[in-house]
Amino acid sequence: MDMELRHLRYFLSVAEELNFTRAARRLNISQPPLTQQIKALEAELGVTLIDRSSYRIALTDAGQAFASEAARILDEVRNAARLARSAARGATGRVRVGFTESASFNPLVTSALRGFRAAYPDVEVSLEEHPSTELAMALREDRIDVGFVRPPLREERGLAFDLLEKEPLVVAVPGGHRLARRRSVVLTDLAAETFILYPRTVRPGLADEVVSACEAAGFTPRVGQHAPQLSSTINLVGASLGISIVPASMRSLQPRTVVYVPLQGEPLHALLGTAYRTDERSAVVRHFIEQAKAAALAGPHISD
């Protein structure tokens, strides 16, 4: 006889009841097959598990040791089954989330992370920051599962994108700048200014949006400095090295040295969304994607 889990359950029932009749009733089987199964189990193990020499049966030393281990094994099997069902529902596991630097300042991202943590507390969430172009590569190479990215992304088969928010762009100027006290500006007010921008190779969407809007307004922005990160852009504005146009969610940076002025006219936006693999099958990852959509629907997160 090859030992199976049912043999452990049979023996444990007898060990707990210390009565074959009650154990059989508990297992919903007749007594003779139960007695035969226990005898077969003892034969396979080569030990006596139950002392039948007196009116009331009792466990031998071997039976007590075996009962303890059988109970542990059955508990582990039940726990394994529970974990498997939980993983299938997406209630446990791990999701690897990437985000751009500017996305980390957006309340939608923090709202999505907070909502997911509340809904799935047993899921491990790992985070890493990269530019959108690198996040797309990380998705293709299976190093992350979801990315909060700024489009456009290079057309890639196998990747999907959900637009979550159109975040307004604002003008960042030094605190003592001539435009700092204005309630709003139009793009033509910036024609003579020195711009601090971000390289297109890193953030093509934002850079193109700014340059194209300025050219549509009748001038090409004079770029005095390229900053590797948006936070660096704000720091350079605070140092009075120029002005910039940035997502509105970055207004919390350098509030003492930088003033953020809304734009009038045709609105400019920085798009934000989630990118993921189209063949994604993980329930955990799908739950995270849906949580990000729910956070977007619960907006607004950024106001003009």
pLDDT tens digits along 1-18: 567 888 889 989 999 999
Same domain, 291 and 264: no
Structure pTM? 0.71
**Is 190 in the same domain as 264?**
yes
Q: Are 100 and 130 in contact (CB under 8 A)?
A: yes
Residue 109: inside a domain, yes or no?
A: yes
pLDDT of 276: 95
Query: Quick one: 10 and 126 in the same domain?
Result: no
CA dihedral sign of residues 156, 158, 145, 268: positive
Domain tally, the chain: 3
Under 8 Å between Cβ of 92 and 122: yes
Residue 205 belongs to some domain of the structure: yes
Q: Specify if 303 maps to a domain.
A: no
pLDDT given for residue 216 in this prediction: 92
Question: Do 181 and 239 fall within a single domain?
Answer: yes
193, 213: one domain: yes
Read off the CATH number of the domain in which 82 is found: 1.10.10.10
Residues 279 and 206 in one domain: no
Question: Given phi > 0 = left and psi -120 to 50 = alpha, else beta, which region is 292?
Answer: alpha
CATH of the domain at 208: 3.40.190.10
SS3 assignment, position 95: strand
Tell which of 88, 108, 134 closes a domain. 88
Backbone CA torsion sign across 160, 162, 163, 164: negative
Q: In sequence order, what DSSP letters do the residues of 249-301 get, joined into one string?
A: GGGGSSTTTEEEEEBPSS--EEEEEEEEETT---HHHHHHHHHHHHHHHT---
Alpha-carbon span 201 to 194, nearest angstrom: 21
Q: Any idea which residue has 């097959």 for tokens?
A: 33
- Give the domain extent around 196: 165-270
Are 36 and 155 members of one domain? no
Low-confidence residues in the chain, pLDDT < 50 = none
pLDDT digits (tens, 9 = 90+) for 226-259: 888 888 999 999 999 999 999 999 998 888 899 9
pLDDT value at position 78?
Answer: 87
145, 285 contact by CB (below 8 A): yes
Element (H, E) at 116: helix 107-119
Q: Is residue 227 part of a domain?
A: yes
